[in-house]
Amino acid sequence: ADGSLWAWGRYGTGSSLLVDSAVPVLIGQGFQSVSADWGPLAIDNAGVVHQWMSGDFVPLPLTSVTQVSGVFVLKANGTVWNLLLPSPPGPVSVPGGPYLAIEGGDANFAIDANNQAWAWGNNTYGQVGDGTQNSVGAPKLIEGQFAKISSGTNHTLGLTLDGEILSWGGNNYGELGFSSSAPSLTPSRALIYRATHPLQIDLQGTGDGNVLNP
């Protein structure tokens, strides 16, 4: 909560000596978020994105950054930038937008202001969700409206605006939640049930009316 950043594991001391550490070691101050997916990457309190290089976080030429995920960053103006390709000369803008949230992984996703999801990346198992198994180079609109998306290694999960879970991609181990091992190339409803709660209504006054279940 105080913006301090800690690291552990391989090269976890944060020093130029690149010494492994089995316990958390303080490596920086003034950060608001961090992502260990790739790099890793961190955003400081000024909105500058930093990449972990040779035992230290090095600032990159991207400011007003609000989110990092995988090899992608989202700026406050809704633009998404790819930090991996090409290298050099530097970050490359992803087409489309403005976007409100991103999810970087084997398949990549960006959610726009209408909660529509745009997907691109590896699609070997159908994890992009466009109905094919062809890899997608630029953001492509997929079916549905989403509050959040999580990208796995060979499958994807999406949370809809009304609280349903949709899943798509590979399903060799039942990871899609279909009670079967059948894959899905498009977002499909997983067999996850919403919790129910008892409702009690106390009548007051002498009027009348109806209780509706939307």
What are the pLDDT digits (tens) for 35-48? 877 667 889 999 99
- Average pLDDT over the chain reads 87
Q: 44 - beta bridge partners?
A: 31
Could you tell me the pTM of the whole model? 0.79
- Judged against a pLDDT cut of 90, whether residue 9 lies above it is answered with no
pLDDT at res. 207: 82
Q: Are 8 and 21 in contact (CB under 8 A)?
A: yes
Q: Are 174 and 152 in contact (CB under 8 A)?
A: no
Q: Which three-class secondary structure state does DSSP give residue 154?
A: coil
Edge-first strand listing for the sheet containing 99-103: 99-103, 107-112, 116-121, 136-151, 155-160, 165-169, 184-189
Helix residue spans in the chain (DSSP H): none
Q: d(Cα 20, Cα 61) in Å, to the nearest integer? A: 29
Question: Taken in order 90, 52, 100, 175, is the CA torsion positive or negative?
Answer: positive
pLDDT at res. 70: 87
Burial class (CB in 10 A: 0-12, 13-18, 19+), 11: middle
Tokens linked to 182: 């059948």
Average pLDDT in the 141-163 region?
95
- Judged against a pLDDT cut of 90, whether residue 127 lies above it is answered with yes
Confidence of residue 18 (pLDDT cuts 50, 70, 90): low
Q: d(Cα 188, Cα 205) in Å, to the nearest integer? A: 46
- Going by DSSP bridges, is the β-strand pair 49-53/41-44 parallel, antiparallel, or unpaired? antiparallel
Q: d(Cα 184, Cα 158) in Å, to the nearest integer? A: 13
Confidence of residue 179 (pLDDT cuts 50, 70, 90): confident
pLDDT at res. 209: 80
Among 79-83, 89-93, 188-192, 196-200, the least confident range: 196-200
- Judged against a pLDDT cut of 70, whether residue 67 lies above it is answered with yes
Average pLDDT in the 139-148 region?
96
Q: Are 121 and 162 in contact (CB under 8 A)?
A: no
Express as a percent the part of the chain with pLDDT over 70: 88
